[in-house]
């Protein structure tokens, strides 16, 4: 039998892949601080502003499974390269945007690129380091650190760029980074093997269409009223068509039999609710800091830095030890309850609040909750999957987070709009009432996630998974 020879360039390749992960996460976090500036320059409404996030996460979440499948069939390196080419071009488009439509088109295309990059990068890491459990664990540690660093750099750079340059550079910064990655790919990444099979384009289009129409119907429910019912009906119809197609196709995008595993199904539900709580927290906290407390973009970015640094330190330095000591479920439930508590604290933020007194304690509690919950939720969502289904399970748990984020943010935007309506109009008091309503709704989502984890996630499965690892 031929002896396996590890790729001598695997650590250089990992550095490039971690840079890719850094950039993908940077794209999500860097725009938060710049949202008020984008709103002023391009005239976004409160609900329209949420589409700057949702255009990205809908395309990302809706196409992740397709991205993974394309990587299997056409080669992970080829799809990774194509994803970065799309992401770089889309960043240029968004950075040059002079209208809402142009900016949202760029954001959606960024999501398409990210949906190709993320599963392909994970596939390449498994190929490079799967031969050695210790090396694989170290590689995933660097991968997680790159994500946390991207979040931390995003809030800081978003503040610096918006304050001293212009919000357009929160997108244009990706162009030189993307070109550098594209130039290095041939030098450090080997060509990936292809496999035979069919691509379920119909499934990908129908599930993405269902998600877009659902989020659109939720966001416009106040202005459209009963007019949103046909859109909701269309969304339900598209989703039903998607499920039927997955039953009848020989090679479906999402083999539904994977949900027979209890913890895997429960983990995906919890992950969707986690996204529905975390992204609205991030979105509305940025607006509160600048529009209520009057912080500059730079000061707002610096104010959020302790959150992202806490997440990075806890995830990289302590998560593995805590999971080994107390188990997956205990960390998961505790983290979700902490996040729910933090959101209830945010729901009571005052008009003349103090960052140190009112924002910092709640933000640190939320960061600790996220750091404790995210990795255990991911492990739960992959627990019990057969070896040949691990790629699918990985793509599915990421998809659940992105879809939960999009739907959750859409719902909280509606709650915020109703809160403003019950306040004193578009004054500071009215905006605060809207933000408080959104934080309370996100707290309910976190509480539901904690309840679902407590009731439906089994203890033995995930803990055996940790022990085995």
pLDDT tens across the length of the chain (469 residues): 445 566 667 788 888 888 888 888 887 777 777 788 888 888 887 767 778 877 887 788 778 778 877 877 788 888 889 999 999 999 999 999 888 889 999 999 998 998 888 878 877 877 777 666 666 667 766 776 777 777 777 777 777 777 788 888 888 888 998 899 899 888 888 776 666 667 778 887 888 788 778 777 776 665 555 566 787 888 889 889 988 988 888 778 777 777 777 788 888 899 999 999 998 898 889 889 888 888 887 788 788 888 888 887 887 778 777 877 888 888 999 999 999 999 999 999 988 888 888 999 999 999 999 888 887 887 787 666 666 566 667 778 878 887 888 788 888 888 887 766 555 556 778 889 889 999 999 999 999 999 999 988 876 443 443 333 3
Residues 288 and 152 in one domain: no
Are 298 and 391 in the same domain? yes
In a domain, 344, yes or no: yes
Task: Please state, in angstroms and rounded to a whole number, the distance separating the CA atoms of residues 91 and 118.
Answer: 17
Helix axes 10-29, 46-74, angle to 10 degrees: 160
Class of residue 225 by CB neighbours under 10 A (exposed 0-12, middle 13-18, buried 19+): exposed
Same domain for 344 and 244:
no
**Would residue 2 count as lying in a domain?**
no
Instruction: State how far Cα 329 lies from the chain centre.
Output: 22
Answer for the pair 4, 131: CB distance below 8 angstroms, yes or no: yes
Give the number of domains in the chain.
Answer: 3
Q: Which of 157, 186, 215 is a domain's end point?
A: 186
pTM of the predicted structure, to 2 decimals: 0.78
266 and 179 co-located in one domain: no
Residues 280 and 233 in one domain: no
Contact 108, 99 (CB under 8 A): no
**Residue 45, domain CATH:** 1.20.1250.20
- Tokens standing for 238? 């598209």
Residue from 166, 141, 179, 216 nearest 23 by CA: 179
Residue 243: give the domain boundaries: 201-252
């Amino acid at each position: 039998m031929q002896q396996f020879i590890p790729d001598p360039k695997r650590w250089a390749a990992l550095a490039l892949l971690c840079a890719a992960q850094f950039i993908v996460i940077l794209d999500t976090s860097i725009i938060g601080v710049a949202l008020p500036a984008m709103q002023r320059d391009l005239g976004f409404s409160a609900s329209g502003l949420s589409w700057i996030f949702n255009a990205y996460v809908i395309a990302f979440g809706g196409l992740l499974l397709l991205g993974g499948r394309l990587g299997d069939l056409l080669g992970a390196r080829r799809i990774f390269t194509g994803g970065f080419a799309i992401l770089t071009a889309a960043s240029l488009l968004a950075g040059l945007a002079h209208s809402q439509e142009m900016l949202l088109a760029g954001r959606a295309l960024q999501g398409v690129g990210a949906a190709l990059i993320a599963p392909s990068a994970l596939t390449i890491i498994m190929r490079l380091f799967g031969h050695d459990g210790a090396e694989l664990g170290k590689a995933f540690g660097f991968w997680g650190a790159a994500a946390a660093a991207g979040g931390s750099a995003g809030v800081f750079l978003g503040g610096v760029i918006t304050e001293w340059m212009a919000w357009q550079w929160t997108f244009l910064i990706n162009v030189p980074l993307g070109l550098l990655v594209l130039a290095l790919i041939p030098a450090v990444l080997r060509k990936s093997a292809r496999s035979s099979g069919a691509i379920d384009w119909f499934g990908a289009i129908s599930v993405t269409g269902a998600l877009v129409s659902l989020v659109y119907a939720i966001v416009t429910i106040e202005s459209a009223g009963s007019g949103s019912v046909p859109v909701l009906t269309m969304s339900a119809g598209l989703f039903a068509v998607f499920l039927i197609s997955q039953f009848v196709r020989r090679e479906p995008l999402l083999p539904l039999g994977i949900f027979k595993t209890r913890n895997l199904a429960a983990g995906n539900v919890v992950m969707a609710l986690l996204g529905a709580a975390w992204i609205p927290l991030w979105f509305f906290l940025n607006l509160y800091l600048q529009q209520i407390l009057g912080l500059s973009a730079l000061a707002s970015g610096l104010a959020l830095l302790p959150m992202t640094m806490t997440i990075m330190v806890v995830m990289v330095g302590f998560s593995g030890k805590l999971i080994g000591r107390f188990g997956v479920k205990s960390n998961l439930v505790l983290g979700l309850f902490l996040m729910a508590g933090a959101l209830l604290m945010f729901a009571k933020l005052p008009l003349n609040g103090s960052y140190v007194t009112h924002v910092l304690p709640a933000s640190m509690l939320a960061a600790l909750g996220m750091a404790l919950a995210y990795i255990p939720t991911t492990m739960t969502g992959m627990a019990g999957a057969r070896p040949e289904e691990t790629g699918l399970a990985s793509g599915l748990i990421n998809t659940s987070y992105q879809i939960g984020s999009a739907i959750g943010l859409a719902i909280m935007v509606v709650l915020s709009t109703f809160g403003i309506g019950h306040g004193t109009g578009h004054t500071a008091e009215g905006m605060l009432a809207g933000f408080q309503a959104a934080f309370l709704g996100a707290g309910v989502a976190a509480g539901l996630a904690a309840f679902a984890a407590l009731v439906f996630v089994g203890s033995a499965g995930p803990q055996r998974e940790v022990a085995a690892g």
